[in-house]
Chains A and B, each alone.
Chain A
Amino acid sequence: MFRRSGPTDCTILWEGRALPARAGEPLAAALLAAGVVAFRETPVSGAPRGPFCLMGACFDCLVEVEGVPNRQACLVPVTPGMRAGPQRGARGAP
């Protein structure tokens, strides 16, 4: 769906799968460039969702990053080797 305009320089792990990325770019951009469109499943119906606004407003790009739930992928800069995965439903609390 998307094509990169420049080279990648690292990899990230999405559900354990290595994806090419560029350090410092938004995690959401890296995932979209790698063909990932379903970032999360909604707490209400479980329907798949992906980034909508890409500017921190819509909360549709929620993912789990390094074990922390409900991170907005559009606001998290990529670091080499970053581990992330989809946010499935509501996060746990305690």
Chain B
Amino acid sequence: MAEAIVVGGGLVGAAIAYGLQREGLATALLDEGDVALRASRGNFGLVWVQSKGLGAPQYQRWTRASAEGWPALAEELAAATGLDCGLRQPGGLHLCLSDAEMQERADRMARMRAEAGNHGYEYRMLDRRELEQMLPGLGPEVVGASFTPYDGHANPLTLLHALHSAFTGLGGRYVPHAEVTGARAAPHDFRLETPVGVFRAGVVVLAAGLGNAKLAPLFGLSAPVRPQRGQILVTERAREVLSLPTTTIRQTAEGTLMIGDSHEEAGFDLSQKTSVMASIADRAVRCFPWIAGLNIVRAWSALRVMAPDGLPVYDASERFPGAFTANCHSGVTLAAAHARLLAPMIARGALDAALDAFSARRFAGGDVAMPATPRPLALRRASV
């Protein structure tokens, strides 16, 4: 029998499962399978700090902590699995295409520094002349950029592979085709039903992305997350041109340019729209006209896991101690925090006060009315 069960085999679940196993808990990782929505296989791959947490400095700090923990995570994953996640943290840029955009960005960065207090928030607003020293071939509309030294990028697919390999390498049990179809919950006593069997443990972590919305109430928790679609374009490989990533354009270690991103409220519709792809391409070409000469070789859409305020959700169940939720739309950026900070808290049985701000109780009506006694509840698959 497992000591802990993690529901969800994406980046969030795999990072937590790896972290729990690393803490010495015998952990089972239940993965739905390839019918799942798999945000982890469609994301952009930034390890990104600079725009996270305006008005929510605790999110800024959590993101910073993860970015700072990333080199150690990448190192230990490489040592354990031989896989190189391709982490590069040269700092990152947000390009501005007008004086108005530049002013808005400068105001935003100043507010974030003010909110950071003496935790610090280093950034610089670069004018066009400075920017030209860093990136070649800027379009005529580019006015400048904001720069923070904290940003970087990595290969998200290698990260997912490495987390899974490191987890099973430590003795963790990966269970595919294990969609949770029902559950019983009591304090430190959980029973999860799946098509491949029943799993019991004293600790359960719900990291099922959009699936958490339906799962959380079974454990006295709430996870009001919704899908938000993003589309990405990928070019053919080219020799290195961009030595550091921008918010929406990055060159991978292999040489492809990844171009994002869109924020679309489209429910569970994963289809791609040419109008959106065109506007993504248009902005990219305005930033770097030479991108127009590169062939697009792949394009895809994926669904972000968004809470109403865009912040992560981390919760510990009060009704059923031992049950936790973890949701976010930044599975790559937060991987180090999940493996090295969150998992140890869960292993100790309680979340640190630093995570109080991420409880779903922050949402109106966030407390879910639960039956007086635990009873079995049936679940149906979310529409895909």
Given A89-B239, A92-B238, A93-B294, are A43 and B255 neighbors across the interface (CB < 8 Å)?
yes
Count contacts on A: residues with CB < 8 A to the other chain: 8
Report the tally of A-B residue pairs with Cβ distances under 8 A.
Answer: 29
Residue B290, interface by CB 8 Å: yes
Whether the pair B239, A93 counts as a contact (CB closer than 8 A) is yes
A11 close to chain B: CB less than 8 A = no
**Residues on the A chain within 8 Å of B241, using CB:** 93-94
Nearest residue, chain A, Cβ from B236: A70
Size bracket of the B interface: 10 to 19
Query: Complex formed: what's the CA distance from A93 to B293 in Å?
Result: 8
Smallest CB separation, A57 vs chain B (Å): 12
Does B310 reach chain A (CB closer than 8 Å)? no
Q: Answer whether residue A90 sits at the interface, using C-beta atoms and an 8 A cutoff.
A: yes
Please tell me if A91 contacts chain B, counting CB pairs below 8 Å: yes
A91 partner, pick from B137, B236, B291, beta carbons under 8 A: B236
The answer to whether B237 touches A94, judged by C-beta atoms less than 8 angstroms apart, is no
Cβ B236 vs Cβ A92 within 8 A:
no
B129-173: which residues lie under 8 A (CB-CB) from chain A?
136-137
The CA of A91 and the CA of B238, in the complex, are separated in Å by: 5
Interface string of B242-282 (1 = CB under 8 A from A): 00000000000001010000000000000000000000000
Asked if B383 lies at the interface with its beta carbon under 8 angstroms from chain A, I say no
Minimum CB–CB distance for B90 against chain A, Å: 18
A91: B residues at CB distance < 8 A: 236-239
Asked if B373 is at the interface of the complex by the 8 Å CB criterion, the answer is: no
**Residue-by-residue, is A74-93 near B (CB-CB < 8 Å gives 1, otherwise 0)?**
00000000000000011111
Contacts of B118 in A (CB 8 A): none
Q: How far is the CA of A94 from the CA of B294 in the complex (A)?
A: 9
Query: Bound complex: CA of A91 vs CA of B236, how far in Å?
Result: 9
Give A21 to B257 CA distance when docked, in angstroms: 36
Q: Is the CB of A70 within 8 A of B290?
A: no
Residue of A nearest to B294 (CB): A93
Whether A70 and B295, one on each chain, are in contact in the complex, defined by CB atoms closer than 8 angstroms, is: yes
Min distance, Cβ A43 to any Cβ of chain B, angstroms: 6
B277-308 vs A, CB cutoff 8 Å, 1 = contact: the mask equals: 00000000000101101110000000000000
Give chain A's interface residues, CB within 8 Å of chain B: 43, 70, 89-94
Please, could you name 24 A-B residue pairs with CB atoms under 8 Å apart, sorted by A?
Answer: A43-B237, A43-B255, A70-B236, A89-B239, A90-B237, A90-B239, A91-B236, A91-B238, A91-B239, A92-B238, A92-B239, A93-B137, A93-B238, A93-B239, A93-B257, A93-B290, A93-B291, A93-B293, A93-B294, A94-B136, A94-B137, A94-B241, A94-B288, A94-B290
Given contact pairs A93-B241, A94-B137, a sample of 17 additional A-B residue pairs in the complex whose CB atoms are under 8 Å apart: A43-B237, A70-B236, A70-B295, A89-B239, A90-B237, A90-B238, A91-B236, A91-B239, A92-B238, A93-B137, A93-B238, A93-B239, A93-B290, A93-B291, A93-B293, A93-B294, A94-B288
4 closest residue pairs by CB, A with B: A94-B137, A93-B238, A94-B290, A93-B241
